[in-house]
Amino acid sequence: MFTKNKNKKKKEIDLLNGPILPKIVSYSLVIMVTNLMQMLFNTADMVIVGKFAGNECLGAVGATSALVALFLSLFTGFAVGVSVITTHTIGAGDMKGFKETVTTSFSLSILLGAILSALGFIFAKYALMLMGTPEDLLPLATTYLRIYFLCMLPQMFFTYMASVLRSLGNTKTPMYMLMVAGVVNILFNLIFVIVFKMNVDGVALATVISQYVSAGLLLWHMMKTDAVYKIEKIEFKFYKDKLSKIVRIGIPNAIHGVVISISNVFIQSALNTFPSIAVTGSSAAANIETYVYHIQSSFHQAGLTFVGQNYGAGKFDRIKKTQRCCYFLVISLGLSFGILAYIFGEPLLGIYINQGPGYEEAVAYGMERMLCICVPYFLCGIIEVQTGLLCGLGKSVSPSVITVFGFCAVRLIWIATVFEKFHSLTVLYACYPVSWLISMILLYFVYLRAKKQLFPKHYKQIKVRSKSTEAEA
């Protein structure tokens, strides 16, 4: 591993040597805790706005979620390119290439963050109108979205630079910084909403402040550390070959994310044809589902990082072991937490939805969504692992094509045909597990083909060497 200080190495996990399963668990656990911590802070937003500003404000914030995901997907896909290139350079021991990747990633995050902020602020209202956002929610949703997009620059910076640290096996440093930022977020939520009597604008402003705190802490750390990812000076510079590789891998992932988000926008538009109380119940349920998703998504990053480093180092046997471990963990945890979330769905939904007129109806709508989406969510987790493994091998186009077809085309066809004929929320929500199942099967065959293309020449001799030098996972 690259490191200048032995003390710094304690924060990094050696992904190239030793047993794999405990290291994947250790690596994924920190990312999982980080994701859940972020979700808890987001939950605080929802709870505070729902309890102190009303269900209308809760519905307004929830109505923006698909659109926020769409805008973010435009540029966060490039962070996958950052992860892949950094893991490959680390595995190959290419210090110069690693440094150039860090500088290019830093510059790209600033540029894309600024563009995203401008796009979001300008087109927020028009995009919400195109989605068919209920008129009673539109003014509040527009206010929230415009303020929220002011935090895109620090969010892009943190996303890209955290990818660099995690590629080295350092998952703890980003977690500590998000922890501080989350506490700041909750404090300002309470101050703005309860003390100053603000509503969605207060929640959005608290988010903006917390994002700048997390980005500032990470920048300070990267300038003060003596680790290999140290930023010697603030430099806005692109290295052509590194930018080309990041873009080549990032564009398919960005398109993948955008198209999936577009499909979710259509689903949100279909959802908006139901009463506002249904949108409120669905928004609360979606927030709970996101916890299950983020538990599983940690294995996407783990699979990408472990495979990326070992692919760069030519250790193909460890790639196969990584695949088996990630599948086992994501299925076990995804299925368990999905079922548990549904079992305790009513009290969990009660955390978000304000007691009063329409409460029981909103909870019923939320439970309907959780049964259809949350319980089979482990299928989505398997897809996350599959795409992570393929991206770690440098294959980003084929998984993007498959998921675009499976997630977007299948869902849009479902809405235009099945949902159009049987207009109910259950039928609408069923498009999720159907699209996951189709995508999962197709991605499995794509991964088998990728292994056949990349492994044959060296795999046998590597396998013999690995058995004599490494412990079994």
pLDDT of residue 5: 46
Asked, for residue 60, whether it belongs to a domain, the answer is yes
Residue 214 has pLDDT above 50, yes or no: yes
If one compares 34 and 191, the residue with the highest pLDDT of the two is 191
Asked, for residue 48, whether it belongs to a domain, the answer is yes
Asked, for residue 10, whether it belongs to a domain, the answer is no
Residue 459 has pLDDT above 50, yes or no: no
pLDDT tier, 51 (very low <50, low <70, confident <90, very high otherwise): low
Q: Who's near 422: CB < 8 A, 6+ residues apart?
A: none
Asked, for residue 2, whether it belongs to a domain, the answer is no
Residue 2 has pLDDT above 70, yes or no: no
Residue 190 has pLDDT above 60, yes or no: yes
pLDDT of residue 470: 43
Phi, psi torsion values for 393, nearest 5 degrees? -85, 0
Tokens of 77: 């896909």
Measure the CA–CA gap between 73 and 298, rounded to whole angstroms: 17
pLDDT tier, 462 (very low <50, low <70, confident <90, very high otherwise): very low
pLDDT tier, 11 (very low <50, low <70, confident <90, very high otherwise): low
Asked, for residue 45, whether it belongs to a domain, the answer is yes
pLDDT of residue 342: 92
Each residue's pLDDT tens digit, 410-430? 888 998 899 888 888 889 989
Average pLDDT of span 76-92? 81
pLDDT tier, 7 (very low <50, low <70, confident <90, very high otherwise): very low
Number of C-beta neighbours around residue 464 at 10 A? 11
pLDDT tier, 1 (very low <50, low <70, confident <90, very high otherwise): very low
Q: Poorest-confidence range of 276-280, 337-341, 342-346? A: 276-280
Residue 468 has pLDDT above 70, yes or no: no
Residue 56 has pLDDT above 60, yes or no: yes
Each residue's pLDDT tens digit, 110-125? 998 898 888 888 888 8
pLDDT tier, 456 (very low <50, low <70, confident <90, very high otherwise): low
Asked, for residue 107, whether it belongs to a domain, the answer is yes
CB of 85 closer than 8 Å to CB of 114: no
Measure the CA–CA gap between 133 and 364, rounded to whole angstroms: 21
Residue 399 has pLDDT above 50, yes or no: yes
Average pLDDT of span 204-232? 89
Range of the structural domain that residue 219 is part of: 19-464
Residue 197 has pLDDT above 70, yes or no: yes
Each residue's pLDDT tens digit, 344-358? 988 888 887 777 777
pLDDT of residue 52: 65
Cβ burial of 96 (10 Å; 0-12, 13-18, 19+) is exposed
Overall domain count for the chain: 1
Q: With CA atoms as reference, report the closest residue to 102 among 255, 233, 10.
A: 233
CB of 40 closer than 8 Å to CB of 326: no
Asked, for residue 13, whether it belongs to a domain, the answer is no
Each residue's pLDDT tens digit, 300-335? 888 888 888 888 888 888 888 898 899 999 999 999
Average pLDDT of span 274-291? 84
Residue 8 has pLDDT above 50, yes or no: no
Measure the CA–CA gap between 221 and 172, rounded to whole angstroms: 13
pLDDT of residue 384: 87
Percentage of the chain surpassing pLDDT 90?
Answer: 13
Residue 469 has pLDDT above 50, yes or no: no
Q: Who's near 109: CB < 8 A, 6+ residues apart?
A: 156, 157, 159, 160, 161
pLDDT tier, 213 (very low <50, low <70, confident <90, very high otherwise): very high
Residue 13 has pLDDT above 80, yes or no: no
Residue 179 has pLDDT above 80, yes or no: yes
DSSP 8-class letter at 314: T
Measure the CA–CA gap between 43 and 254, rounded to whole angstroms: 26
Tokens of 284: 């609360």
The DSSP annotation for 60-112 comes to HHHHTHHHHHHHHHHHHHHHHHHHHHHHHHHHHT-HHHHHHHHHHHHHHHHHH
Tokens of 423: 């207009």
